[in-house]
Amino acid sequence: MTTTSLLNVLFLCTHNSARSILAEALLNDMGKDEFKAYSAGSSPRENQQPNPLGLQVLQTAGISIEGLRSKSWDEFASPGAPKMDLIITVCDNAAGEVCPIWPGNPATAHWGYADPSEGDGSDAEKLEAFRKTMHAMKRRLELLIGLPKDKLEKGVLQGTARDLAKS
């Protein structure tokens, strides 16, 4: 990362409908001057859409949902795709899968979160699961955004991102 460029971050989960979408929207909102976030899934379902409860908690928090859509990680491994600096898996399934060869050999890390879309209970309880996941992600992303620039350089970024998984 140079002082004039944004750090490109790709968040991955299996279906790209909940956790990775939340992370993309959060980082683009919170870190818009230093980061550009994207999200994708290892195997999004045909006609997959972002989870409506995830979109609702983002909107309630005042975070834009414009342009959010479910997509395959193949979009980011193809020629002409934005070059990623950091790729973060946010679900255990995606972390264990064989990933594409990413152009530019980006740093990688796993930040596991429980899937809020798998919760049982009332609509209010399901919405609360999404809210809790969003706030847990927000805390970790605040740490990433607050890091000194030298911790975001290519040679140390992987260790930095993996250390944040412990926080």
Distance CA 65, CA 148 (A): 29
Q: Is 13 a catalytic residue?
A: yes
- Residue 126 counted as domain residue: yes
> Domain of 133?
7-164
Q: What is the CATH number of the domain that holds 75?
A: 3.40.50.2300
pLDDT at 104: 83
Annotation says 47 is catalytic: no
Total of domains in the chain: 1
* pTM for the model: 0.91
Query: Is there a domain that residue 41 lies in?
Result: yes
Question: Domain for residue 2, yes or no?
Answer: no
At 155 the pLDDT is 81
**Residue 24 falls within a domain, yes or no?**
yes
- Which alpha helices (H) appear in the chain, and where do they start and end? 19-30, 52-60, 74-77, 92-95, 123-145, 154-164
Domain assignment present for 42: yes
pLDDT at site 1: 47
pLDDT in tens, 142-154: 999 999 989 998 8
Let me know if 91 is a catalytic residue.
yes
Q: Is 1 domain-assigned?
A: no
Structure confidence by residue, pLDDT tens digits, 68-126 = 999 999 999 888 899 999 999 998 765 566 667 778 889 999 999 999 998 888 989 99
In the chain, the percentage of residues whose pLDDT exceeds 90 is 67
User: Is 9:85 a contact under the CB 8 Å cutoff?
Assistant: yes
The residue annotated as part of the active site, out of 13, 27, 109, 152, is 13
- Any domain includes 100: yes
Mean pLDDT, residues 2-25: 89
Average pLDDT, the chain: 90
Point out the catalytic residue in the list 6, 99, 136, 156.
99
Q: Is residue 158 over pLDDT 70?
A: yes
* Catalytic position from the list 10, 91, 134, 164: 91
